[in-house]
Structure 1
Amino acid sequence: MTNPELAWAFLQQLVVILLAAQLFGYLAKFIGQPRVVGEMIAGVVLGPSLFGLFWPELQQGIFVADTMPILYIGAQIGVGLYMFLVGLEFNIRLFKQQARSAVGVSLAGMIVPFIVGALLCVWLLEQPGLFAANISYTNAALFMGAAIAITAFPMLARIIYERKLAGTALGTLALAAGAIDDAAAWIVLAVVLASFGGGALLAIKAVLGGAIYASLMLTKVRGWLQPLADKVEHTGVLTQPVFLLVLLLWALSAYAMEWVGLHAVFGGFLLGIAMPRGKMTEMVSARLSNITVFLLLPMFFTYSGLKTKLDVLGSWQVFSTALIILAASIFAKGVACWAAARIGGADNRTAMAVGALMNSRGLMELIIINIALSYGVIQQGLFSIMVLMAIVTTLMATPLFQLVYGRHMAKTAPQTAEQDINPTALKAG
């Protein structure tokens, strides 16, 4: 395929991707779901599971193999920038204030999923087409634990913002617990990726390198960027050189994490947390959010959808495996967080709301399983099962939250509650 033909083919599929994302995003909002749910489903619809099932020639004609590397690059840039935006919106002060009260919920949200993941892997490793042939039990169990423990933190923040619960006990508890859980899940995934096929030295390099880099970002780099942030705060203008510097730092952070043996998304997330808060972060977020959320992120959903083959669920063995994983995941995360919140003194309604919010996996799950698939940790069968789990648990979150907490409870939340969550960057949830 010549370069002009390649460009035309990519533009053609980009139009299809954007139209599908807008359509399904609108339908999701129409039925009361976050936009991200529709976009996730749009990615699966465009893949071989539906579009390719009914119109295989048309689907293959649009998503030609030669354009896949371009789509992959766009998808990786999109998810990397999105994690940077998540880091920008990460409320460090709120996290520090609520960390102690959220320890019980977050520990339950980590320990129980890892126990369940370890038990599941005794059986899952005997099933064909799920894990890599040479994976150890330890790595398989750690991956399953991380995949079950992960929470759709951006979506959780979005729901709390929309319900005006940012300054309430429920909002702060859920946000702090979700942040701790996700941090632990990412650390475990980093260990799995570093040690898979590489031995203990690579794992040590990844953990130490990541820790040193995180410390550097949160101390030195934040201090270095503060004068720039003060200048933007004073002038109210984000100049092109400053914006380009931020993008350069993002690229360097992504490269640094890849170099130590972690994934590039860790670098973007750390840089986002390290950025001094104020007008500079607000303006950077405003400039990047639309192109990331509306253009690049749908490419990630589509790239994931093209690798999702729900026809593997056609056999009773795989379908029953999917049902068991789904049921175990919902129990391990939702029930554990509910019980921990109750033990911590929360009333039943609040505890159930925490369990409903924490049980959603969303985009964070897709990121984890895409990374695991690219590293060869899991195979196509488990990837498709986990995509289904991500969609189902995300679909459940909003209706369950609405059911157990109620609209009238949201209306009683303080209208002047501290709203440190910028809705712009979290549109994708």
Structure 2
Amino acid sequence: MALPELSVAFFLQIFVIVGACRAMGWFGKRFLDQPQVVGEMIAGVVLGPSLLGLVAPDLQAAIFPKDAKPILYVCAQLGVGLYMFLVGLGFRTDHFRLNARSAIAVSLSGMAAPFLVALALTPWLLGLDLFGKGITSLQVTLFMGACISITAFPMLARIIHERGLTGTPLGSLSLSAGAIDDAGAWVVLAIVLASFGGGSEVAVRAIVGGGAFAAFMIVLGPKVLAPLTRWAEREGRVTQPMLAVVVMLFGLSAWAMDAAGMHSVFGGFLLGVVMPRGVLTREVRKQVEPFTTALLVPMFFAFSGLNTQLTMVNSVDLILVATVILIGSVGAKGVACWAAARATGQDNATAMAVGTLMNARGLMELIIINIGLQKGIIGPALFSMLVIMAIVTTLMASPLFEIVYGRKARAAGALGQLHEEDDAASAPARPSLR
């Protein structure tokens, strides 16, 4: 397909993706009491081969030609990376310090239990011919453990945001545990990929390189960014040159984590976390958030949906396997995270809320299993089962969260809003941004 034709397809995709995501998001909130993010995830699957490609394959191919997928992929990665940067801007490090013990315990428990489930399932799954040729029991255990233990970090962040829990102890605890959890899952995935011929340097680069960059950002990042913050404070606003510098730093951080073998979302999140709070972070959020959430994030959901084929689970045996994987995944991670939160001093409602939020896999799961399918680690049937697990656990998150923590969440959200209004009232007036 020629470049002019690709541009025409791209603009049509913008129309279809944004429209579908807004419509499904509205439907989910209005009739299913699901957050906007869940509707957007479903919209991505609907636009893919699982529904639109099934009932109108010619139309789906015309809107999403194969040649245009690389462009959509780049926009999708930019969208989820920028969104996690915005999440980092709202991350309360003081709450993380207060909840560090709980966050580490929840994260480690939320990984250990799923890996035990993966270890127990490995002999059975290997006998069903669901993996690529030559894969060993250890590789199966590691890959399935990473799949079962991962948390939908971007989706978790959006649920917390839409429930008004950004900056609350529960929000900070869940985000902290989710970040540690997902980083560990990506390290395990790097080890699996290394064992498939990528070489030991793949795993070493992910562990050493990613860890070194994270340490640099946490220790030296605030000092490096301090001059930019003082510049914004002097101006009382964020100018275009300031915003350009922030965008450059975002690109560098995302590239560093990708180059290390991790995922770009961690680079964006770390940059947001270490930025000194004040005019800079407040005004950058105002300028970046609307475009990111309205256009770029839906592209991430759409691209993931284009790689999802749910019709592969088409027999009783495969449905049984999918059910066992789902029950084992939910039970292991949910119970382990709840128990760890309780053991580290959280009340029962908060512990149950943490277990519920950490149990959503979402599109971080889809990223991992797409890599597994591409590298020949898993076959199409197991891929589809893991997609089902990702969707079901994500759909469960919001209703269960409302049951176990709804009233307390509304109170915490109202209190957080009151604090934000108090902070805004006490802050000096700033020139409006144009």
TM-score by structure 2 length?
0.86
Give the superposed CA RMSD.
2.9
Taking structure 1 as reference, are residues 223 and 178 closer, same or farther at Cα in structure 2, changes over 3 Å only?
same
Partners of 1:389 and 1:315 in 2: CA distance: 16
| Kept after mapping to 2: 8 A contact 1:193/1:261 | no
- CA drift of 1:40 comes to 0.6
Which runs of no fewer than 5 residues in structure 2 stay unpaired?
421-434
The one-letter code matched in structure 1 to 2:141 is A
| Kept after mapping to 1: 8 A contact 2:118/2:145 | yes
Partners of 2:26 and 2:238 in 1: CA distance: 32
Partners of 2:221 and 2:33 in 1: CA distance: 41
Matches within 5 A, 1:117-136: 117-128=118-129, 130-136=130-136
Which secondary structure state, in structure 2, belongs to the residue aligned with residue 416 of structure 1? Answer: helix
- CA drift of 1:325 comes to 1.2
Partners of 2:259 and 2:176 in 1: CA distance: 30
Please name the residue that 2:415 is paired with.
416
Taking structure 1 as reference, are residues 147 and 411 closer, same or farther at Cα in structure 2, changes over 3 Å only?
same
| Kept after mapping to 1: 8 A contact 2:84/2:154 | no
**Matched pairs, number:** 420
Partners of 1:296 and 1:338 in 2: CA distance: 33
Matches within 5 A, 1:170-189: 170-171=170-171, 173-189=173-189
Partners of 1:79 and 1:165 in 2: CA distance: 20
- CA drift of 1:286 comes to 2.6
Partners of 1:356 and 1:183 in 2: CA distance: 19
- CA drift of 1:340 comes to 3.1
Please name the residue that 1:41 is paired with.
42
Greater Cα shift, 371-380 or 19-28: 371-380
Matches within 5 A, 1:30-429: 30=30, 31-128=32-129, 130-160=130-160, 170-171=170-171, 173-344=173-344, 346-407=346-407, 409-410=408-409, 412-413=411-412, 415-417=414-416
Which runs of no fewer than 5 residues in structure 1 stay unpaired?
422-429
- CA drift of 1:23 comes to 0.5
- CA drift of 1:53 comes to 1.2
1:360-407 deviation line (CA, Å, top 9, x unaligned): 223433343344445554443333322222221111112112223343
Q: Identity of paired residues, percent?
A: 56
Taking structure 1 as reference, are residues 158 and 263 closer, same or farther at Cα in structure 2, changes over 3 Å only?
closer
Taking structure 1 as reference, are residues 52 and 137 closer, same or farther at Cα in structure 2, changes over 3 Å only?
same
- CA drift of 1:317 comes to 2.9
| Kept after mapping to 2: 8 A contact 1:190/1:263 | no
| Kept after mapping to 2: 8 A contact 1:52/1:60 | yes
Partners of 1:117 and 1:58 in 2: CA distance: 40
1:67-98 deviation line (CA, Å, top 9, x unaligned): 22222222222223233333333322211111
Partners of 2:170 and 2:81 in 1: CA distance: 29
| Kept after mapping to 2: 8 A contact 1:193/1:262 | no
The one-letter code matched in structure 2 to 1:399 is P
Please name the residue that 1:22 is paired with.
22
- CA drift of 1:39 comes to 0.7
The one-letter code matched in structure 2 to 1:5 is E
Please name the residue that 1:3 is paired with.
3
| Kept after mapping to 1: 8 A contact 2:49/2:309 | yes
- CA drift of 1:231 comes to 1.7
- CA drift of 1:158 comes to 4.8
Taking structure 1 as reference, are residues 374 and 231 closer, same or farther at Cα in structure 2, changes over 3 Å only?
farther
1:394-423 deviation line (CA, Å, top 9, x unaligned): 11112112223343x4455484348899xx
Partners of 2:419 and 2:148 in 1: CA distance: 28
- CA drift of 1:189 comes to 3.3
Partners of 2:351 and 2:186 in 1: CA distance: 25
| Kept after mapping to 1: 8 A contact 2:187/2:203 | no
- CA drift of 1:345 comes to 5.1
